[in-house]
Every structure is written in C-alpha cells, then in structure tokens.
Amino acid sequence: MNRRTAGRRAAAWLACLALAASAAGHANDAEGVKIGVLTDMAGVTSDATGKGSIEAARMAIEEMGGQVLGKPVTLVTGDHQHKPDIGASMARQWYDADGVDVIVDVPNSSVALAVQAIAREKKKLVIFSSPGTTALTQAQCSPYGVQWTYTTYALSRGTADAVVREGNRRWFILASDYAFGKQLAADTAAVVKANGGEVAGTVFHPLNASDFASFLLQAQASRAQIVAVANAGGDTIMAIKQAAEFGLGQGGQKLAAMLLLLTDVHSLGLAAAQSTYLTVPSYWDMNDGTRAFSKTFAERVGHPPTFLQAGVYGSVRHYLKAVQAAGTTDSKAVMDKMKELPIDDAFSLNARIRADGLVVRDMLLAQVKAPDQSRQPWDYYTVVRTIPGQALAWPLSESQCAQARP
C-alpha cells in the first residue's frame, strides 16, 4: 500500500468516526436526556450529599415535567467512594457506554478534578455542586465544567474575614489532607494574613479520621485564639466533638468551622455548635420558595436540604432549562445557554455563570443559634447579613483559567 492510498484510507476512517460521533449525538437527543449523579453514599459526606443529592436531582426533573424536548429525562447514580480512580472510571463508563449527558454533584475535590479531566477529554458536561477546590475553575478549568455552589475561596473570605475583624488575630488551622482541605487551609490563611492576623500553625489529618488527639494537642500548644476546622462532613463533626472533650473552649480558644453543613450542626447539637460563624450559599428557611421545596424534600429524605443538595437541585434545573432553550443536548450549545440564561431557582441569590465556569452568587454570613433560640426542628441559623457575590470570587483579571482570558 503506498502512502497516498494509506492517507486516503486514514482520512476516510476519520470521517467515519466523525459521522459516528455526530450520529451518536443525534441519537442521544432522540432518546432524551440522561443525568448521572455521582455522589457519596456511605462516606464522610453521605448525610450532606448521597441519597439527598439523588432526590434533589429527581425533584428538579419532576419540576420540569419529567421530560425535555419531548423526550424523557432519566437518572443514573453512582458512589465514587472518595477514590479518584473509581470516580474517573465511572465517569468514563457513563459518558462512553451509558449515554450520560451530564454528571452532577461529585463531593470530594480530588475525585472532582479526576472527573473534570474525563469530561474535558470527552467534551461532556459536568456540574459540580459539592467540591470546593478553586482548581476546578482556576488552573484546571474546563469549557465543559461548572462550579455551581461554592468554593473554598468564598467560604474562607466569608467566615475568616468576619472572625478576624472581631479581634481574633492568632489562628491555628486543622485541615483534611487532600485537595479540598489543603486549598481551604491556604485560602483561610491568606484571608487571616490579609486582615492583619497570623497563622501559628497548620496540620493535616487523613480523610475519615477517628482520632484527632495529636492534632488538637498541637492546636492547644499554639495558644491560638481561633482553631479553624477546615474539613467536611464526618471529619468536621468528629474534630469539633473531640475539641470539646479536650477542653479547647475552657482554655479560651474558639472554633471556626470553615465548612459547616446543616447535617453537621444537627449531629453536633446546638449546645455544642452554638455561636459558630459560617458562610452558606443558601439555607432552607430563606424564603417561601426554599421552604416549600424543603418541606417536600424533608418528607422524602427526613431533613431539609443541605446547601450541597440544594445546589444539585438548582444545577439540574438550570441544565434542563438550557437544553430546552438550546433545542439539543450538544455540550457546547447547552453550556452557551447555561451561561446566557438567568439562574432563577429559589436557593440561588443573584447568581450567574462566568466565563471560567464559576457561579458567582451572593451568600449568607450566618451564626448557629443557641438551643433556646430555635423555634422548630432544623431551625439552626441566624442570618447575620448577605455577602455580595463579587466579594467572594477572585477577579477574572487574576484568573489562571485559560478560557477566561480575553
């Protein structure tokens, strides 16, 4: 076979592949929309995501009538077990073989970064509700990825700024030893220092730790005014409980939870968590719309949604509206519509998707109520003030994301 013939055959083969890919895209449109909820069903964040994330996605689909473009919307679900290789493998299977159009949720930042790489390779959409690492919309951003609910940057700026301004300038940071915790620790330290404070020390613990004794002893020895807990889910609960057992409060030290979820407060109890400052993208008792949604959600799941679960609801709802407006499930066309359309679910305050895929939204500085202030089950927060979204997002001029540059 001469080179010219080989070249023609190769070109023909590539053309066939392109036609096959195009046909597959049209086939997906004909079959409807398939959404994959990749979540944590049994790990440290399962209460805050897990079955509640799945139900939130289902409620968004129901609200949109269960179909789009005249075809059904279906769900597939999976548990990544907090392992990036498992998460990446499931994403590849869903995109390649199972016809999934978009993956949502993805608690655990390390897993999210692995899934983002697969989505970028496959030119498929992924909308992150639960991971907070800024890398998703900074250095490792993707034209097919959206960071929907929050970032470590936003939470640290909201909470650390408020606590430092109260005069608490000496900090010690206890963080989880993976992408999320490391980024949250770094962002917290930056805010503390920017406000004239100092970080006396930072220690990292393994995911799903059971014994925080050595870490808390270091925190006590640091004589820091504030011990910042920069982790998530079960690790946050265990760290705060053991801090109380070690008597950090009696020694004059205070805790600042850099990520504290509604289910965490419930597990800790108001007596243990009271007066803690936190930043939240949403709260179930914000307005009539959030209260109505949360009533139905609680009937199905057993409690109001965390802001991660509310994020899954909002992201799926917005995605389906964009598919309807675009008239196709083509990833680029849908992403363009997602950025063009206003975000209007009840949990999203003044929210929009930027060029880097980050949803910039107003958030709430809240404080955990004392037991005698709570009026009903799950009435846990007093909203101190609304924080403008622009104050919680890095300027695009400082972005490391290639697609955000002019």
Cα 119 to its chain centre, rounded Å, is: 17
Instruction: Dump pLDDT digits (tens) for 339-358.
Output: 999 999 999 999 999 999 99
Indicate if the pLDDT at residue 13 is higher than 60.
no
Confidence grade of residue 2 (pLDDT, cut at 50, 70, 90): very low
Per-residue pLDDT tens for 108-148?
999 999 999 999 999 999 999 999 999 999 999 999 999 99
> How high is the pLDDT of residue 276?
87
Of the candidates 169, 336, 197, 183, which has an alpha carbon nearest to the alpha carbon of residue 254? 169
Residue 123 φ/ψ region, left for φ over 0, alpha for ψ in the -120 to 50 degree band, beta for the rest = left
pLDDT in the model for residue 12: 39
Superfamily of domain 153-279: Response regulator (3.40.50.2300)
d(CA 213, CA 239): 9
Q: How distant, in Å, are the alpha carbons of 41, 173, 304 from that of 239?
A: 21, 12, 24
Length of the chain: 406
Please give the Cα distance from 48 to 129 (Å, whole number).
Answer: 11
Segment 15-40 mean pLDDT: 62
Q: Report pLDDT for 393.
A: 96
Indicate the range of 57-61, 71-75, 248-252 predicted with least confidence: 248-252
The pLDDT score that the predictor gives to residue 178 is 86
Query: 109 is written with which tokens?
Result: 């930042």
Query: Average pLDDT over the chain, rounded to whole?
Result: 91
Residue 18 binned pLDDT confidence (cut-offs 50, 70, 90):
very low
| Reported confidence tier of residue 30, pLDDT bands at 50, 70, 90 | low
The tokens for 62 are 């129901």
For helices 307-326 and 50-63, give the axis angle rounded to 10 degrees: 30
pLDDT at 306 exceeding the cut of 80? yes
Residue 296, pLDDT > 90, answer: yes
pLDDT higher than threshold 70 for residue 363: yes
Quick count: other Cβ atoms within 10 Å of Cβ 116?
27
Q: Does domain 33-150+284-361 have CATH number 3.40.50.720?
A: no
Percentage above 90 pLDDT, the chain: 83
Q: Is the separation of the CB atoms in 353 and 396 below 8 Å?
A: no
pLDDT value at residue 25 = 43
| Nearest CA-CA partner of 266 in 238, 292, 237 | 237
Evaluate whether 235 touches 204 at the Cβ level (below 8 Å): no
Tell whether the model's pLDDT for residue 6 goes beyond 70.
no
Which backbone phi and psi does 205 adopt, to 5 degrees?
A: -115, 155
Region 226-236: mean pLDDT is 92
CA distances 295 to 186, 285, 388, Å, are 37, 10, 28
pTM to 2 decimal places: 0.88
Res 1 pLDDT > 60 = no
Q: Where in the chain is the domain with CATH 3.40.50.2300?
A: 33-150+284-361, 153-279
pLDDT reported for residue 29: 53
